[in-house]
């Protein structure tokens, strides 16, 4: 931690010395400049030179920094704040899905589901019978009515001879038609792969649904994206980010093809956000912790571009680990301390009682997780661990507690992503072990996946603490934000609104009115800090970004309305008028003058 404070102190001293020597490149004045500094102070003016902030204060103090070539922007009272730091997303997948057959996260009946896919098939007249149709952004938990079954037969009713795969927006399930099942080699006696499940009917036949690692049985048959397709996906992702105000991001599960595409854009001068990448650590296919970390370091050597500079660049300093899947129906692949409930009564007279399943065994055994985290710490790689269920959270915290007792483990910055349910006894452990929960605030609202697909299966006590955002905050945790795009549409401002209110969109329907459970929302300042300075901390970037202070890089955004003064529900309607990265404007809306 000390070296980051030292770096900031040096940068501030340097900028103060420079401030008297040369005019600023850009000055913002007459603004509501929310700094996210230690006091959450609000200032009036800000000046930028050579990609860095050289002044934050009142209008009078900025005036001497104006020269003949200085661009002076009158904010007319508008809010200027640090650029958004998205601490967990999948930009290449998000970008490529913008180019694919998409169900757009809609709640659909079976007939609507079939109609939307048939329209994609009918539109694509060039592809032959052997080319897979990949359908994305399927809100599986939102199928209507609640609990309706979708199987290979659902897709077999389509007019096509092509293999079809429909990917759940959550990323943990995929539905295949019968031709795709056949091509994947899935038969009655095909065993479940490690870390995955082939869903079967009462006769033992595959239904067409694949969970978690079992998806690879089909996904590995798909042709990889071409170089041009990868580049198009990266461009689309960055364009979406600029418009949202994202200036830094973590790709929470990357591959060499993705990093190659972003490296190509960097060479072309078209990288418009600071790009961080987490390489998957997977021991299911015979790798050891040592060999898996060695492969990560090989990719780091190829793609990491060194220390952060004013111009956006790429860094490969994180590892992604999966401990479980998702806690909601129909997957139930979240690792739970107590069993999921099952209805032992009838639909009319339900009797929800503990069932036999607590979800799968965690995808890393305790010893394998300790060993892997130890190897990562030795290599100075920060672990970013997917945990959805409370058992996955606890086992990860236990391993990190061990890691903290080792010399190399004291300086590591572990993050636990999602944390959809956490045992109350584990709330204070995040702070005591200095573990950052990286949360997707938009999940903390009434919705098909948090009501019909979850409530009855959790029971009232557990359901009351689902999406424990404020509960972790109040226990002292450093909350960071990650959108998990494309699990949801990329809408950071809607997510921040939900973080404050725990309410759905006004048009979500009567069944999703009100708040999710008895928990309060988070304070507005805490919500903004999560998506700025705290997320920057998880990227080891907090000395340079995440707040507006002299010496820091000029990563910032101008908003069309004030996050702190608009009604809470109106936060979702905020639009970014300008996005600046390293002193360069990378996005500007028509409303900005």
Q: Which tokens belong to 358?
A: 């607590």
The H or E element spanning position 211 is: strand 206-212
Please tell me the pTM assigned to this model.
0.87
Query: Burial letters for 305-316: b for 16+ Cβ neighbours within 10 Å, e otherwise?
Result: beebebbbbbbb
Q: Convert the pLDDT of each residue in 398-442 to its tens digit.
A: 999 999 999 999 999 999 999 999 999 999 999 999 999 999 999
Give CA–CA dist 264/256, Å, rounded: 12
Pairing between strand 314-322 and 274-280? parallel
Q: Is 464 exposed, middle or buried (0-12, 13-18, 19+ CB in 10 A)?
A: middle
Does residue 511 come out as left (phi exceeding 0), alpha (psi in the -120 to 50 range) or beta?
alpha
Residue 507: what pLDDT?
87
Residues 325 and 450 sit within 8 Å (Cβ to Cβ): no
Question: What is Dmax (Cα atoms) for the chain?
Answer: 80
Give CA–CA dist 232/32, Å, rounded: 37
Closest CA to 505 of 572, 407, 589, 441: 572
Give CA–CA dist 375/291, Å, rounded: 10
Give CA–CA dist 206/529, Å, rounded: 46
The H or E element spanning position 82 is: strand 79-82
Indicate the average pLDDT of the chain: 93
Residue 135: what pLDDT?
94
Residue with tokens 């998506």: 531
Q: Which tokens belong to 98?
A: 């913008």
Residue 15: what pLDDT?
44
Query: Burial letters for 383-402: b for 16+ Cβ neighbours within 10 Å, e otherwise?
Result: bbbbbbbbbbbbbbbbbbee
Question: HEC string of 29-60?
Answer: ECCEEECCCCCCCEECEEEEECCEEEEEECHH
Quick check: bond before 545 cis, omega within 30?
A: no
Closest CA to 235 of 95, 98, 97, 102: 95
The residue count for the chain: 593
User: What residues in the chain have per-residue pLDDT under 50?
Assistant: 1-8, 10, 12-19
Residue 169: what pLDDT?
82
Give CA–CA dist 131/387, Å, rounded: 35
Residues 129 and 161 sit within 8 Å (Cβ to Cβ): yes
Q: List all residues 6 or more positions away from 292 whose beta carbon is below 8 Å from its beta carbon.
A: 281, 282, 283, 372, 375
Give CA–CA dist 407/422, Å, rounded: 28
What residue ranges define each of the domains in the chain, with the CATH number in brackets? 2-83+549-588 (2.30.40.10), 92-219 (3.10.310.70)
Helix (H, G, I), strand (E, B) or coil at 88: strand
Closest CA to 420 of 95, 104, 108, 172: 172
| Phi/psi of residue 495, nearest 5 degrees | -60, -40
């Amino acid at each position: 931690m000390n070296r980051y404070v030292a770096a900031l102190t040096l940068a501030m001293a340097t900028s103060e010395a420079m401030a008297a020597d040369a005019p600023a490149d850009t000055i913002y004045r007459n603004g509501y400049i929310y700094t996210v500094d230690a006091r959450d102070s609000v200032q009036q003016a800000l000046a930028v030179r050579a990609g860095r902030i050289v002044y934050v204060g009142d209008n009078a103090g900025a005036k001497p920094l104006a020269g003949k070539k200085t661009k002076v922007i009158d904010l007319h009272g508008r809010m200027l704040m640090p650029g958004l730091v998205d601490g967990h997303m999948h930009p290449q997948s998000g970008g490529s899905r913008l180019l694919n057959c998409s169900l757009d996260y809609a709640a659909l009946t079976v007939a609507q589901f079939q109609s939307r896919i048939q329209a994609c098939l009918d539109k694509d007249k060039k592809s032959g019978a052997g080319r897979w149709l990949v359908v994305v952004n399927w809100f599986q938990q939102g199928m209507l009515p609640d609990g309706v079954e979708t199987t290979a037969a659902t897709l077999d009713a389509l007019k096509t001879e092509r293999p079809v795969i429909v990917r759940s927006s959550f990323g943990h399930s995929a539905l295949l038609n019968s031709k795709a099942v056949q091509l994947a080699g899935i038969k009655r006696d095909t065993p479940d792969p490690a870390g995955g499940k082939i869903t079967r009917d009462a006769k033992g036949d595959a239904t067409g649904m694949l969970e978690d690692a079992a998806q690879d049985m089909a996904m590995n048959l798909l042709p990889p994206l071409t170089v041009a397709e990868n580049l198009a996906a990266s461009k689309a992702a960055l364009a979406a980010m600029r418009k949202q105000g994202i200036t830094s991001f973590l790709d929470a599960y990357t591959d060499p093809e993705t990093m190659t595409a972003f490296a190509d854009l960097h060479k072309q001068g078209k990288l418009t956000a600071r790009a961080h990448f987490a390489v998957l650590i997977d021991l299911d296919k015979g790798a050891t912790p040592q060999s898996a970390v060695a492969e990560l370091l090989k990719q780091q050597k190829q793609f990491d571009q060194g220390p952060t500079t004013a111009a956006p660049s790429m860094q490969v300093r994180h590892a992604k680990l999966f401990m479980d899947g998702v806690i909601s129906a129909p997957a139930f692949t979240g690792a739970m301390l107590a069993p999921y409930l099952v209805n032992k009564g009838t639909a009319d007279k339900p009797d929800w009682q503990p069932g036999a399943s607590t979800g799968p065994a965690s995808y890393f055994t305790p010893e394998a997780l300790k060993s892997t985290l130890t190897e990562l710490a030795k290599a100075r790689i920060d672990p970013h661990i997917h945990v959805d269920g409370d058992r996955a959270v606890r086992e990860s915290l236990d391993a990190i507690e061990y890691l903290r007792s080792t010399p190399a483990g004291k300086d590591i910055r572990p993050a636990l992503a999602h944390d959809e349910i956490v045992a109350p006894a584990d709330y204070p452990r995040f702070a005591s072990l200095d573990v950052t929960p990286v949360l997707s605030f938009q999940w903390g609202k009434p919705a098909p996946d948090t009501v019909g697909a979850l409530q009855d299966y959790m029971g009232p006590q557990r359901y009351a603490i689902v999406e424990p955002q404020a509960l972790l905050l109040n226990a002292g945790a450093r909350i960071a934000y990650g959108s998990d795009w494309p699990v949801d549409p990329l809408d950071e401002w809607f997510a921040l609104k939900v973080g404050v209110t725990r309410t759905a969109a006004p048009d979500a329907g009567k069944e999703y009115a009100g708040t999710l459970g008895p928990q309060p929302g988070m304070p507005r300042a805490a919500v903004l800090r999560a998506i700025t300075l705290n997320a920057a901390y998880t990227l080891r970037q907090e000395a340079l970004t995440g707040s507006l202070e002299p010496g820091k890089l000029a990563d910032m955004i101008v908003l069309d309305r004030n996050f702190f003064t608009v009604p809470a529900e109106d936060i979702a309607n905020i639009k970014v008028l300008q996005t600046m990265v390293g002193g360069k404007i990378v996005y500007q809306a028509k409303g900005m003058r």
